[in-house]
Structures are given as C-alpha cells and as structure tokens.
Structure 1
Amino acid sequence: MTELVLKVPVAAPAGTTWAALTDWTRQGEWMLGTSVRVTSGDGRGVGSTLAAFTGAGPLGFTDTMRITDWEPPTRCAVLHTGKVVRGTGEFLVEPVTEWTSEFVWVERLDLPLGVVGRLGWPLVRPAFTWGVRRSLEKFARFAEAYAR
C-alpha cells in the first residue's frame, strides 16, 4: 500500500469548493485525461458508485469507486474497486477562512502487478504526482469560478 497526499489552496468558501468537487460529471474539466460518470445512486451519498475513465481514445483504464463515507461539506471517501486501481481515496475540503478553503486529495493505493508494480512505482510516482498536482491547480481555478 502506498500513500499520496496533495493539497491545493482554493479562493472559495468550503461549501463552494465541496459543490465543485462533488460535481462528478464535470470532473473531466479539471482532472487530466479523465471523465467521470455516476453508475449507481445519485453520487451524493454512501453506496453510490462512480466510474472514472482515464486515458485517451481507447487507451486507458476505468477506475470504479464506491462512496464509503459522505460528510458534506468536508469529506468524501471512496473504495477503488477496479482491476487496475485498488485501495481507498479521500477528498477533503478544509475551511481556512470564511472565503477560502483547502482541497486535500489522499490516495492509499494497493499497487497493481504485484512485485513489478512495487518496483515500478518509484519510476511512475513522479509523473503520477505531477499529473494530480496539475489537476488540483486546475481544480482550484474551476472551484473559484464555480459559483459565478
């Protein structure tokens, strides 16, 4: 199991940041190479499921998730249930002031491919981290414009 924690400041209140974050079908507007759809439930509570395709054209993979905790407007936890991505994720919105917040992305991943995955992770991690970091920077701009 490996853990990745990334944070980004957002010049928007926590409620707005939460609303932007949990607008699952628009996640592709800020998450690099990803489109998300709600596959069961309404995407707004425990038990709802999501499918996130990451890639370009036919090349990529689908990350399926089930929401395991739902604590608006501060925390959503998911269980990754796919063949490639397994483990847990958390989306945290932390109020900083009345008008600003911080978005925290946490992944605890069970790496695929056994020993090959564990040996390859140090090589892949910088690119993965870079992609998520860029996406979170784009998310901050998305959230800041969300309520307008």
Structure 2
Amino acid sequence: MPAFRIVRRTALPPAHAWVRLTDWERHGAQVPFTRTVIETAPPTHVGTLFTARTGVGRVTVEDRMEVTVWRPPAGADPGLVRLEKHGRAVRGAAEIEVLPLPAGGCEVHWREDLRLFGLPRVLDPVVAAVGRLVFGRALDRLLRG
C-alpha cells in the first residue's frame, strides 16, 4: 500500500489555490491519457462523486472517488479535501490540504495512499515514485493555472 506526499509553495492566496486544486475536470487534463467525469451536480460537497479514467482505447483504469471531507480555507484556517477511492483497480484515499502562510501565499500538501489491485507489495516503492512524479507534475500545472 504505497503512500506518498507532495508539498508545494505558491504565491497564490489560499482561496485561489483551493479553487484550482478542487476543479476535478482540470485534474484529468493534467494527467496523460486521463479524463475526469463528474457524477454529481455542482458545487462540490461531501458526497460528490467523480471518476478519473486513464487509458488508451479499450485498455483503461478507472479511479472512482468520493469527497468525504470538504473544508475550504477560511482566513487563517487551512483547507482540506479528502477523497476516498472506490474503483475496482484503484483503492485508498487522497488528501489535498491548503495551508495559509504568514507572509502570504500558501503551502499545499497532497497525500496519496494507493492500493492497486493485482500488483504485489514489492512494487510499492515503484508505484510511489511514479505517483510522486505524475501527481507532482499535475499539482504544479494546477497551481500555474
């Protein structure tokens, strides 16, 4: 069960970073061969469901997620969204936390705890390394706009 964390700092105000980081359709656009389908009417709230489909042709992996914590940043209070993964091939959870910085801007913590069906635990370090790379690039692009 590989777990990893990515941390980034940005000059964006926390509320602005939050909007970019919780635009689920934009997430899919940042990961190669991925499309995000929102299954619940906006706005995002606890219970929102969406699926990230990654693949080419008929070979796809679905990462079905449910928002279980939805706390946007407010003033000096950090924001936190937690996603539970309910797919056949991808299980686990993800969290995105947006922490205001005293001098302005914010720090973003992206945490993933993945379980990929059918992969032996010996591959956990490889999965974590690939996850840090792919999700790190997505995070950078989301924060850039």
Q: Greater CA deviation, 119-128 or 75-84?
A: 119-128
Contact 1:43 1:49 (8 Å CA) reproduced: no
The DSSP-based 3-state class of the residue aligned with 1:76 is: strand
Considering only aligned residues, what root-mean-square deviation do their CA atoms show, in Å? Answer: 2.0
Q: What aligned pairs does 1:122-141 form with structure 2 within 5 A after superposition?
A: 122-141=125-144
Match of 1:90 in 2: 95
Question: Which of 87, 94, 102 in structure 1 is aligned with 2:107?
Answer: 102
Corresponding residue pairs, total: 140
Match of 2:22 in 1: 22
Shift of 1:93: 0.9
Shift of 1:7: 1.1
Shift of 1:15: 0.2
Match of 2:76 in 1: none
Match of 1:146 in 2: none
Q: What aligned pairs does 1:70-81 form with structure 2 within 5 A after superposition?
A: 70-73=70-73, 74-81=79-86
Higher helix residue share: 1
The TM-score, its normalising length taken from structure 1, stands at 0.82
Moved over 6 A (4+): none
Aligned sequence identity (%): 29
Q: Distance in 2 between matches of 1:43 and 1:56?
A: 30
Residues 9 and 53 (structure 1), Cα distance of their counterparts in 2 relative to 1, 3 Å cut? same
> What are structure 1's unaligned runs of at least 5 residues?
143-148
Q: Distance in 1 between matches of 2:24 and 2:112?
A: 17
Contact 1:92 1:103 (8 Å CA) reproduced: yes
> What are structure 2's unaligned runs of at least 5 residues?
74-78
